[in-house]
Structure formats: C-alpha cells, structure tokens
Structure 1
Amino acid sequence: MIREIFFDNVKLSYGCTEPVAVGLSVAVGKEYLKGELKSIDVIMDRNTYKNGLEVGIPGTHLHGFDLAVALAYLVGRPEYGLQVFKDVDLNVLSKAYELKDKIKVSYENSYNLHIKTKLEADNEVLVEITDSHDNVSKIVVDGNEIRNTQTSVNFKKDLVKSISLNDIFEYIENPDLDVADVVKNGIKFNVDAVNEGIKKEGNFGYALGEGIPAYVAAGVDERMSGELIPIMTVAGSGNQGIASIVPPTLYGRENEMPEEKIEKAVLLSILVTTYIKAFTGVLTPVCGAGSIASAGSSAAITYLAGGNAEQIKNAINNVLATLFGMTCDGAKRGCALKASIGTQMALNASKLALKDTNIPCGNGFAAKDVEETIRRIELLTKSLRQFDQDVIDFIGHC
C-alpha cells in the first residue's frame, strides 16, 4: 500500500505543477483536435488559479496561464505528463504570443483540483483533470466520451490516511527497490537544482549565503523563476519536493553519514509530507513547502541524528504547532523564503525533540499525540478557505 501511495505522490516535473496541469490538459486535447485552432477555454478551481498567476513558466521567466496554454499547445506532448513544458525554448515564445487572443482562462469557486479545458477547431474537444495534477480523468470529442475515469478525491486521501506514522517508520527500513531508485533520482535532481540556484546573483539563496535553509531557498527560487529544470515533486508540489528532500540530504552529507541512511531519511521525509497533505488536501490555503514539508524534513533530520520514534513524532509536532499558520498566497519567487524559514524551523524542531523538549499539549492546537495534531490541522485548514478567495484579488497587484 505504501508503495502505491509513494508512486501516486512522487513524480518528476518541469515548472510549477498548476500551470503544468493546465498545460497537460491542453496537450492531451490537441491530440484529438482537427483543423485550425479557433479557441481554447480553460476553467479551473480557484487554488489552481491562485498558484499559477505569478509563477514563472519553464524556459521563459515569464508568467501567465494564457502563455502556459499557448506553449503547451505548440510543444506539449501528452506522454510527457508533468514534464509537458520540457521542450519549451525562446524560439517558440513568439509563436505563443500569436495564440493568446484565442485563449480564455477563468476560475470557479471550487475547493478540489479540477481543470476543464475546451479546444475548438473543426471539432470540439473537452479534457478534464481532477484530484491530482496529471490525472486526466475525462476526454470528450464532439460529445462522445473517449475516456471517463473520474475518481473521488476522497478515495486517494482515505488510502493515505489509513496508514500511520508507525507504518511509515517500519516501511523506510526495507523499502521496495523501485521506490528506493526514485528516491535516489529525487535526491539527484533536487540537489542539482539547489546547487545551480545558489551560484546565481539575484537568487534568494545566493543572497542568504551559507547553510541548508539558503540552499532550499535557492532551489525554490530557481524553480519559481521559470528555469527549465527537472524537480522531483512530492504530494503535487515541486517546492514540497525541494523542502522535503534537500534538507535531510545536505544534513546527512554534512555529517558524513552513509548514503543508504540518507536515502531512508529522505523517504521518511517524503512519506511524512505526503501523509500530512492527505489531511490538508493537495491545494490549500496553507503553505506546504514552509510548514508541511518542513515537518517531514524535521522527522528525517531527527532520524539521521539517532532519534527514536517518539522523538521523530515530537519533531513533526513541533514544526506543525509552530508553522501551520503560514499561508499560501500563490506560487511565486517569495515561496523560497517561506521554504527557507520552514527548513530553519525543521532544524530547530529536531534539536528540541532530541533533547525531549517539545511544545506542550494544549498550547494552541498542539496535541500530545502528533496524529491528533494532524487531525486538528485537517479541521483548521477547512476554516481558512475564505483566504484563498480573498488573496486572489491581491496577486499581481502592487
């Protein structure tokens, strides 16, 4: 079961996964289109919309859903999945601008990830993506259903929620070989990204200087700025992938730990992040990289430092009880600083947990049992939904 959960939540992507998901819907629809393009109309849930307004489109350093739609129509291929933008280059950019008048993008007041893309030429094609960024659940051509595999978002959530942290602790000691291979690839891709970003003047990580939080900021800024780099995503987010994979990797290597143990720690971080996200939802008003992935990396760092199961749980609890209030106001370069703050808290939370010093039960929403804290977070996330609607009005406006 954990293997299935892992592969459903850990995937390679180029660029922010919300414009990527929209681009994938366009690339899929294009395969069924006949004749010259007349229009593309995309309607999405408000969280997908929020996260795509200000984020860089891979290979362009520009932003905008209309640009993402145009580029995906020109060079996107459905078999690329979340790597739909990997063939983008400056040569195709001018052609993309010529298509923008044919593109309409809007959002509806929906909580769950749902993208509906209609392409019109000599025929009409409708493509829907639901629940996760690469789940093409419906294809309709001229009124005829080619595919309809729409599943309830609650099914996948409930699958993850049916396991426990103890199940995760047990699994990482003897993971499936194909899972271990993906973890190794995730380490390589995401560490390569942070190493590139940290060298560039103007990058947040470069400006912050040394230390693990600076490297995390560097990778997130690199990605959010629109660099054409592959990132291993975790629970639907590349920033979560960076924030959950990079800190334990760098911590382990700085302390000259065996690579095999580092890989187990990274897997722990990935699975803890995925587990908590099942309670908050894929797209939420809460910053996943700054708070949720940081809880995962704190667990992994505590594991690497020799912490026992109780101390690992306390490290998670310390992060969540401190940083859960960090909001998500859309994907953008500023996410780099949120992720770096989360990483610093992950390191601090681990130090506290290893000394058996924790946020007391009853302090705010913190519970004695971290599993209860996570269940409380599920309720609190729902209470913040109005934030998503309100913040959209501010994004992109100085």
Structure 2
Amino acid sequence: MSKPENHALWQQFIHIVREEVKPALGCTEPISLALASATAAAQLAAPVERIEAWVSPNLMKNGMGVTVPGTGMVGLPIAAALGAIGGDAEAGLEVLSHASEQQIADAKALLHAGAVSVMLQQPCDQILYSRAKVYAGDEWASVTIAGGHTRIIQIEKQGQCLFMLDEAEAASQAEEARQQLAHSSLRQIFDFISEVPPEQIAFILEAARLNEALSREGLTGQWGLHIGATLEKQRAAGLLARDLSSNIVIRTSAASDARMGGATLPAMSNSGSGNQGIAATLPVVVVAEHFDASEEQLARALMLSHLSAIYIHHQLPRLSALCAATTASMGAAAGMVWLIDGRYETIARAISSMIGDVSGMICDGASNSCAMKVSTSAASAWKSVLMALDNTGVTGNEGIVADDVEQSIANLCALANHSMQQTDRQIIEIMARKAS
C-alpha cells in the first residue's frame, strides 16, 4: 500500500507528462514560428501580404534545414508563410495540420514574391524565441513566442498591445514544475510506474499509436534519408540480421525519417521535440511486442520511458549542443529494462552505460540526418540494456559516469549547461556560414 503523500507526487508526475508529451506535426522549431504567424494573421481581417520574422540563434539552427510538412520545402520562411496563410492558431504544435493544397500553393507564391523575411533576433537572451509581424494592406499584427514552443508572451496590433503574458505568474507555475522534478528521483519515478493504477496512465498509449503510424509511413521509403527503409532492404538482402535489435533500430529510425522528411502525420513529442518522443516510444513498443506484453505493461513501460526522459531533459537547456535524442533514449532503455527485468538497479546501470556511450553526440540543427542520431541512440539503448541484464556496464571509474546514476545524469547535464554552450555557438557559426 503506497503512502498518501505519494498520491500527490503521482498526480504531479501525470500532470508533467501531460504537459510535456503532446502531438506535434513537423519539427517543433519551425512549427513555433508557424504558430506565431498564424496567431498574428488571426488578428487581421484581410489575407496576409507580407511577413517579417525574427528568431533566436538556436531556433534558426533547428529550423533552417528541416522539411515543413506537406510543402516539400525546408526552412523557416515557408513555415512562417504557411502558418500565416493556412495555420490554425488554436491548434498549438499541430498548427499546420489542416493546411490545404491551395493554401500551401499560396504560401509558396508569397515566398517566391519575396514577401517573407526571417532574421536573427539580436541580441537575444532566449533560447526559444520567435516573433512574426504580418501585414495586410495598412494593417499589421505581431506575435512573440518565447521560453517554450507555444508560449505566447505578446500579441500586438497596430501598436496596441492585445495580450501580454503575466511573466511572474507564468514563471511561478513553471518554477513549481521545475521544483517538483528537481526534488524527485529516478527511484520515485520507478516506484510510481510500478504502483500507479493503470487507468491513470492509459493515455500514454496514444504515444504508441501516433509514433507507430509515423514508423509505418517511414518504412515506405519516401521520406528523408529513408534510413529505416534502407536497413529493412539490406535485412532482406541478408546483410543485416532479422532480430529484435534490428527491429528496434529500423522501426525507430523510420519514424524519424517520416517526421523529418515532412510527412503530414503528427508525432507524439517529448519535451517539445518529436524526435525525443519517437526515441522514447518506439524501442519500448518493439520490445513490448516481442515479449507479448499487455496494454497495461506497455503503458507502465512507456510512462517510465517518457517520464525518465523528461526528468533528464529537465536538467538541460531547452535547446543545446547536446543531441537530446540520446537522453530520450535513456528513458527508452529504462522502459525496455522494466519490461524484461523489472529491477531498478538494472535500469540505473543501463542509463549510466548510455551516458558513457553517447554523451558527446552534438545537435547540429534539425534535418533529415536527425534520424541517424535517433537510430544510433536507439542502438545504444538496446546495447546498454543487454549489458545491464548481464550485470555489467560502464562504472564510476570511467569518464563522466559515476557509481550513482543520479550523479551520472548530473555530470552529463553539467556539460550541456556549461562547456557545451561554446560548442553550440560554434555550431551555429558554422551553419550560418553555410547559409550565407
């Protein structure tokens, strides 16, 4: 019987997962700008004729090379244009889900007319920042998003402020969630998913449904670098074994192929990223199928994976030089271990081994190649699970890994929060030179 105080903590965990695990159509950085454009356009009576937009360096990094769903085009300008012309301002990260073929054509025409410009916001203290100013005749409206992909902080029309976020109140709510996670532990997350009534977490099964649909689409071979489809083809040719390990990598990378390649299917995201949601979901689903797990077992394993991924990512900047597919896959390692072994010690060992394996993987912007990083992270997760099941793994005598998994996570996050900030600036400089 769990203690009464645990139930309050469990409800906090459920609330956090509901806030951080949401459907998203397309890469969330360009989608954030599309949402700003759509919300600004909703303030005007006439069709948008011109768009000016400003974004943070990190949002520019993650938006310049990724395909916008349904358009076949990459980059922030088409996201801004389609958001203004065909976006649903009430749909959050699915802002482009109802854009029609005609609206896509109109957005491309706006682009070809030279009526869309996207610039760096300088100076910019926010990691996530986008501002869209849209014009229709003599009218204009502006929307600013900062601090989160859908966090609108200001709406302005013709110089008049229509909405201003109460930053103090919003900061207080965000701080409450941060404090809850900061004072929690992986052990508490493990206890939660082991004991919580299954009906309270059944909603997480939607992550399996959405991300499996993306995976099936990716296996058609039409999207991105078609890594999943290529590996499947090579498996049929006898160059890759048909086993659980290859299933995990193929089905996970296929979902990322479809998402990054512009498929018009939503991903269930984690911590504002579709790829993180995919990385936290598909390996667990594949292992659950292999062991013929029940829906309840799958729900508990997915909840462990997604909540562990949130717990680790919460200690990182929202965007950084560290590829967060790696930390999401640490959550997947936890979920897979739970399905096979069920012991906390094995989970801790697997996560520490992953930190010893893929901790140096950089994020060099959102693009089709993200599916490579997702596949690498999924493979690392499974390798670490197999090692942990054999009671072995990277120890506290090696590198940044500590004997305690919580300290291993803290060491990894310290790198991302401090020294890798310079790495991030260097990456952005390199990408900016390529784009110029």
Q: Which amino acid aligns with 2:302?
A: V
Match of 2:151 among 101, 126, 135: 135
The answer to whether the 8 A contact 1:194-1:219 is kept is: yes
Q: What is the TM-score normalised by the length of structure 2?
A: 0.86
- Alignment match, 1:189: 210
> Partner amino acid for 2:252?
V
User: What fraction of aligned residue pairs are identical, expressed as a percent?
Assistant: 28
CA contact (8 A) 1:57 1:226 kept: yes
Q: For 1:376, which of 411, 421, 424 is the aligned residue?
A: 411
Task: Give the residue type in structure 2 aligned to 1:301.
Answer: M
CA-CA distance at 1:169 after TM superposition: 1.0
Within the candidate set 225, 228, 236, 2:261 is matched to 225
| CA distance, structure 1, for counterparts of residue 47 and residue 282 of structure 2 | 45
Secondary structure at 1:280 match in 2: coil
Any idea what SS the aligned residue of 2:275 has?
A: helix
Change (3 A) 1:330 1:98: same
Separation of aligned partners in 2, 1:37 and 1:188: 36
Deviation of 1:370 after TM superposition, in Å, equals 1.2
- Looking at structure 2, the residues matched to 200 and 36 of structure 1 have their Cα atoms a distance apart, in angstroms, of 37
Aligned to 1:160: 181
Indicate the SS of the match to 1:88.
coil
Aligned pairs (5 A) from 1:260-271? 260-271=296-307
Out of 196, 221, 230, which is 1:200 matched to? Answer: 221
Per-residue CA shift, 1:123-147, capped at 9, x if unaligned?
4423221222112222233232423
The counterpart of 1:344, out of the listed 362, 379, 389, is 379
Higher Cα radius of gyration: 2
| Superposition deviation, residue 175 in structure 1 | 4.2
Say whether 1:2 aligns with 2:13: yes
Alignment match, 2:93: 82
Deviation at 1:365, TM superposition (A): 0.9
Contact 2:198 2:300 in 1 (8 A): no
1:208-258 C-alpha deviation (Å, 9 max, x unpaired): 125210111111011100010111001110001111001011111012122
Q: Which residue of structure 2 lines up, in the alignment, with residue 390 of structure 1?
A: 426
Q: Report the 3-state secondary structure (helix = DSSP H, G, I; strand = E; otherwise coil) of the residue aligned with 1:234.
A: coil
Structure 1 spans left out of the alignment, 5+ residues:
none
Question: What is the TM-score normalised by the length of structure 1?
Answer: 0.93
Amino acid at match of 2:295: E
Query: Equivalent of 1:105, from 109, 118, 128?
Result: 118
Query: What does residue 192 of structure 2 align with?
Result: 171
Q: Structure 2 regions of 5+ residues with no counterpart?
A: 1-11, 233-245
Q: List aligned pairs for 1:1-398, cutoff 5 A.
A: 1-35=12-46, 37=48, 39-100=50-111, 101-108=114-121, 109-110=124-125, 112-121=127-136, 122-141=138-157, 142-150=159-167, 151-152=170-171, 156-175=177-196, 180-200=201-221, 203-209=226-232, 210-289=246-325, 291-382=326-417, 383-395=419-431, 397=434
**Distance in 1 of aligned mates of 2:176 and 2:126:** 16
The amino acid across from 1:133 in the alignment is: H
Q: Matched residues in 1 for 2:52 and 2:210: separation?
A: 34
Question: Contact 1:234–1:270 (CA<8 Å) still a contact in 2?
Answer: yes
Letter of the aligned partner of 1:356 in structure 2?
N
Amino acid at match of 1:207: T
Greater shift, 94-103 or 211-220, is seen at 94-103
CA shift digits 1:312-364 (9 cap, x unpaired): 11111111221110000011111111111111110111111122212110311
What is the CA RMSD across the aligned residues, in angstroms?
2.1
Evaluate the alpha carbon distance shift between residue 275 and residue 215 of structure 1 in structure 2; reply closer, same or farther with a 3 A threshold. Answer: same
Secondary structure of 2:148 counterpart = coil
